Structure 1
């Protein structure tokens, strides 16, 4: 099976539609169907269930998809490492990062790094903590900038900085006039939070558990600005990072939290068992030092 045909399979698995996948890949439908037939013959089983002229990836197909993505990522990584050895000032870094770092930290660090090493390019992906860590583990990303520190022994962690957390409340709220408070003061309040698998939600849940607080979560968002907007509109309170001084005005009020655990550490992760290509190693050293 050629690497190109593995990529065809990944696209077909993601679209689950031969016509759509063929158009995206710019190959004919018969060519794509023959490639799939060869792959299924090698696997010894169908990888899709055929339902009403549509494809549905089955359990065998999900296994093949996982390994196909990993194989493609490894081949790209090999090419990047060879290119970097030929010219250490050139190459590519596949970087994943949190949504909440997309508006300031990541762009600023990329600008600084590209000023220093203009020959190294980036392939970027933003998403929630669990998703970007998974991309590192499957080889789809070289590095991830995430928070909090992921569980498990499959990645290396390098801390970058610590972000304090605060309680966002609506204007005129009973806690809005306080300079600081413990999270327990928000007992009985409706909460706006991120979805359960998001990193900041994990930190929030830990803070609540330490306080013996069972939050009444009225809405689960996917981004912090959405949380802030709903808090300002009076939907509830939320645990969010302390706004930066240059971030501009917000309509919610931010009250410092005195809980010791009211912080999240932002750091770099990469796969423990795979050596970093020189461009990625150079970016790690640039951000965190040797």
Structure 2
């Protein structure tokens, strides 16, 4: 059994489908099926059984899953460490950025980093924060951005740009002239929410439920600019971070603080107790310097090594 076979097995287990695993790995389905059969023959066990249209892990498959994940992480750490010895200041970093945070904070950071470290390749993945957290935890991303609180048992992190959400409505809305609005006053309004993949989706719903109501979602999107445009034509109300609200057209939208305030605290995360490559360490140090202005609020220190 080799590391490639373990990767194939993990992808089938993750997607619960030979076909989807083959598509994700850019190989043929027979190749996937043959690999799984080879592993089963070598171990003398059955790893998957069919359940309707899905395949599910057997007890033996569950045991291999836990061990395979550890073996792949160990192999990746080993190759990363060896790569540092041979590549010096070159490398690759896989970074997950939610769209709203990415456009608000990172163009200047990314540009500055490329200028300072031209031999380090940045691979950017635009995902919602929930997926970012999952893929950082699985080692598929080296570093990600999410909203605090992040699970301290799985992640180390540092926070930057702590703000709050503000109510965004059209000038025709009944509350457009107010200086502040209580969340409870929005119980009958139609909400324009972010997609379920976004942590902010759950934070807004949780805040409303604490005020005694479940928000009525009329539209969900992954794009803050589309949400604001829909609010401008009075198709619903939105709650957006202060940073985004600064750039909204105040002739078409009204921006109002809410009581109680809903915090919005973006943070960069990486796996706790996992090996960080040279490239990842210099990215964290560089990004922290620019995003925090040198005022570290990290939950775990990172030393980039010699520059």
The Cα shift of 1:109 comes to 1.8
Equivalent residue, structure 2, for 1:108? 108
Please, what TM-score do these two structures have when normalized by structure 1?
A: 0.81
1:206 CA drift (Å): 4.4
Whether the 8 Å contact between 2:146 and 2:267 is mirrored in structure 1 is yes
Change (3 A) 1:7 1:143: same
In 1, the alpha carbon distance for the partners of 2:178 and 2:55 equals 54
- Unaligned stretches of 5+ residues in structure 1: none
Q: Distance in 2 between matches of 1:209 and 1:97?
A: 28
Q: TM-score, normalised by structure 2?
A: 0.77
SS in 1 for 2:259: coil
Contact kept? 1:70, 1:139, Cα under 8 Å: no
Match of 2:56 among 50, 53, 58: 58
Deviations 1:40-70 (A, max 9, x none): 2355543333589x7x331335775565455
Task: Work out whether residues 193 and 217 of structure 1, in 8 Å CA contact, stay in contact via their aligned partners in 2.
Answer: no
Flag the 1:88–1:20 CA change in 2: closer, same or farther, 3 A. closer
Instruction: Say which SS state the counterpart of residue 22 (structure 2) adopts.
Output: helix
Task: Indicate the residue corresponding to 2:139 in structure 1.
Answer: 139
Secondary structure of the residue aligned to 1:219 is: strand
Deviations for 1:219-240, whole angstroms, at most 9, x for unmatched residues? 3624243433443343321211
Question: More deviation in 132-141 or 199-208?
Answer: 199-208
Deviation at 1:167, TM superposition (A): 0.6
Q: How does 1:168-183 map to 2 (within 5 A)?
A: 168-183=168-183
The 2-side partners of 1:19 and 1:258 are apart by 44
| Count of equivalent residues | 286
Asked whether 1:188 is paired with 2:180, we answer: no
CA contact (8 A) 2:208 2:215 kept: no
In 1, Cα distance between the equivalents of 2:25 and 2:228?
38
Q: Is the 8 A contact 2:157 2:268 kept in 1?
A: yes
SS in 2 for 1:161: coil
Question: Structure 2 unaligned runs (5+)?
Answer: 290-295, 297-307
Say yes or no: does 1:90 pair with 2:105.
no
Deviation of 1:118 after TM superposition, in Å, equals 0.9
Relative to structure 1, the CA distance from residue 79 to residue 250 in structure 2 (aligned partners, 3 Å threshold; closer, same or farther) is farther
Alignment correspondent of 1:2: 2
2:212 is the alignment partner of 1:218: no
RMSD between superposed Cα atoms in Å: 3.4
Q: In the aligned structure 2, how far is the partner of 1:99 from the partner of 1:23? A: 23
Q: Structure 2 vs 1, CA of residues 20 and 137 (structure 1 numbering), >3 Å: closer, same or farther?
A: closer
Match in the other structure for 1:21: 22
